[in-house]
Chains A and B, each alone.
Chain A
């Protein structure tokens, strides 16, 4: 079955009168046939998702989420279109990275990086969540955690 790499938001869930404020990667809520563990949290209340599913399910996911411009993290981004690189940079900005941070990380531009380097960067600054009861919201403003090493573990796990 084909591979697909996506950036997917977390959704608030209230499973069974939840004691905790809880969230779950939205892909499992939309594609309920998906069984297993395919995501790793990145910045911006999002997850990097690698799935190995039917072509029909990939088509469904393509209509729901941002699909990364290649299906292999080793892909050099010089091989994708300028428009696709711009879309990727927009995603980084939407996650909360500043243009300055992106420029400092990718000195020669995204075209000189691999997709894996960009995704590991996404996972390198992930604030810890907390629950804010005043407006019943999960906010991500705690200690910054680095999950970049786990991107490769997920990549190896899903083949």
Chain B
């Protein structure tokens, strides 16, 4: 289990199946697994764990074995309400790979429309890095794992969707390869510890 996240891997994509993969509901297009990783079956895909209801304090993470390439993205989502593209609400952390520096965004999702909260966060990713979302109360944290260590990329505050929900993943193309999707409910004790460490953090740079 990663140092930051409390819950272990839920799907290592060791089967050859999909879309949909067992235990997943496809929100758009769909993922398939090839025995070691998962990839979009066609174009942009998003899927959520069927019947999962984690939280309200919750987390989701994955390993990006192969990055999506420039002008494409990979994301993780939590507190998802429905698993239908036109109606799903919740929060997302999305890595956007670009020709310059990569950036990540923390988004609120309303009816499938993403609204980036605050600024984009500049951070290059390499193959094998992890991407994670952690939600504690009204704070949404973005994490990157590099060389085995998770580090916070940034956090945002939003109270629109306070309830437990599903967790999921997305990508914009068939290039990316994703692995070891994990997540679940974060315990109250863990929440208190993390909150005490992070809630007073404010970045003001202009």
Residues on A facing B (Cβ under 8 Å): 1, 10, 13, 15-25, 28, 31, 33-39, 41, 51-54, 57, 128-131, 138, 142, 145, 147, 149-150, 153, 157-158
Contacts and interface: CB of A to CB of B under 8 A. Distances in A.
Interface in B71-115: 71-73, 75, 86, 94-98, 103, 105, 107, 109-115
A25 B116 contact: yes
Interface residues of B, number: 44
B204 A158 contact: yes
A10 B115 contact: yes
A37 B113 contact: no
B115 A36 contact: no
B105, B109, B117, B118 — most chain A CB neighbours (10 Å): B118
Chain A interface, >50% SS class: mixed
Contacts of A21: 112-114
Nearest to A157: B202
Contacts, number: 125
B112 to A, nearest CB: 6
8 contacts: A17-B72, A17-B172, A18-B114, A19-B46, A34-B205, A41-B115, A52-B206, A129-B111
Contacts of A158: 202, 204
Given A54-B206, A128-B110, A16 B96 contact: yes
A131 B27 CA distance: 15
Contacts of B157: 37, 153, 157
Interface string B156-182: 110110000000001111000000000
Contact of A131 (B45, B68, B112, B160): B112
